[in-house]
Amino acid sequence: MFTEKDAAAGVTYPQGFQACGVRAGLKKSGKLDMAMIASDVRCSAAGTFTQNAVAAAPVWVSKDILADGHAQAVIVNSGCANACTGEQGMKDARRMAAVTAEKLGCSADDVVVASTGVIGALLDMEKIENGIEMCRQALYYDGGAAASRAILTTDTVTKSAAAEAEIGGKTVRFGVIAKGSGMIRPNMATMLCFITTDAAIAPELLNEALHTAVSYSFNMISVDGDMSTNDMCVCLANGMAGNAEITEKGADYDTFYEVLLHLCQEMAKKIAADGEGATKFLTIHVTGTKTFADAKQVGMSVARSPLAKTAFFGEDPNWGRVVAAVGYSEAPMVPKKTSVAFGGIPVYEKGLPVPFDEEAMKKIMKAHDIVIDIHMGLGDEEATVWTCDFSYDYVKINGEYHT
């Protein structure tokens, strides 16, 4: 069991974590564009990363940093992805870690580096280094909200949460901030996410818990089917809650994982709901498959269908587009065993359309949150995928993003 706490506190809700967000001048808009998260002590740490072959320099650097299962700080910039920047980009990412470590008095091998923004541009390292010094001066134990604002790009809202649970007789706190709105696709969903906790947990178990939680949260969302070059989800656990270190699976591990999964799913849903130009938040619940993988495949096929997504934007109950996406998903399907419902109203059963009350359906389609239930009739497994609609604004935002 766990209790949700003040979401705005985010990564500074757990003991021993400071954070901040500053204006380093990387964004033309003049908004906050650099963030820092720092623990008072060295942490167990784990991360998951994009599977894009052209992963950005900070991804490669942070993978190396987390290889030993430890870290103490995170430095993040928005406005420039530092992707497709060659050896200079790698040098700049390593420099970000080194300068941050110098300012904080820790090892460069314990500083995770993250970037988000336009691909193909080099970082302005003078502004970056000035920004790191600004971050050092701005760090404070209530800085989670500022950090959550500083990592945004096309997001329309900040994304943060906090919770606590009893583990090993101690109150353990968790906090999270995330960003993500476009270029959202699973296999590390396209985003940045930073999770902090004052739990004591062995690095290998933290790594397993994070990877499993990501599989059932961030890897279950899609906005546009595009996979970013910069995705990462990093978790730092500093042990300051004073619980006996979790070194094996059992009740304490289960509680830890329950909270971690909840926070990851909350962030995943917020990212999907804040998809670029989105007007609808769509939950696709697939049941009756032989395997979880089959259920996920069906859900993702619908979530990535431009025709299905535009139909929901237009508030058109065009169930045929959903059924077609199920059919080409390449997951096992028997039409006569398959059923589909929008907002609890059946629209397709046993290979045929189902007459429905048009007025009742209009209310469903006008709502912001819509549940699409798909039952395959082939087994007992299930999966839930989250996505959004495609609107005119999605094209406008992305047509003008670079310029």
For each of the domains in the chain, give its residue range(s) and CATH number, in order of start.
3-272 (3.60.70.12), 281-399 (3.10.20.340)
Whole-number Å distance between alpha carbons of 203 and 206 = 5
Find all residues with CB under 8 Å of 9, minimum gap 6, and list them: 142, 144, 145, 160, 162, 175
pLDDT at site 180: 84
pLDDT at site 398: 65
- Indicate the pairing of strand 192-197 with strand 232-237: parallel
Query: What number of helices (H) and strands (E) belong to the chain?
Result: 11, 15
Whole-number Å distance between alpha carbons of 73 and 186 = 26
Contact 15, 241 (CB under 8 A): yes
Q: Tally the C-alpha atoms within 13 A of residue 367's C-alpha that lie toward its C-beta.
A: 15
pLDDT at site 368: 97
What backbone phi and psi angles, to 5 degrees, belong to 237? Answer: -125, 110
Helices 319-327, 306-313: axis angle to 10 degrees equals 160
Q: Note the pTM of the prediction, 2 decimals.
A: 0.92
Q: Is 377 helix (H, G, I), strand (E, B) or coil?
A: coil
Contact 279, 266 (CB under 8 A): no
Contact 238, 198 (CB under 8 A): yes
Q: Kindly give the parts of the chain with pLDDT less than 50.
A: 184-190, 401-403
pLDDT at site 80: 92
> What residues act catalytically?
190
Q: Which residue reads 């939680």 in tokens?
A: 213
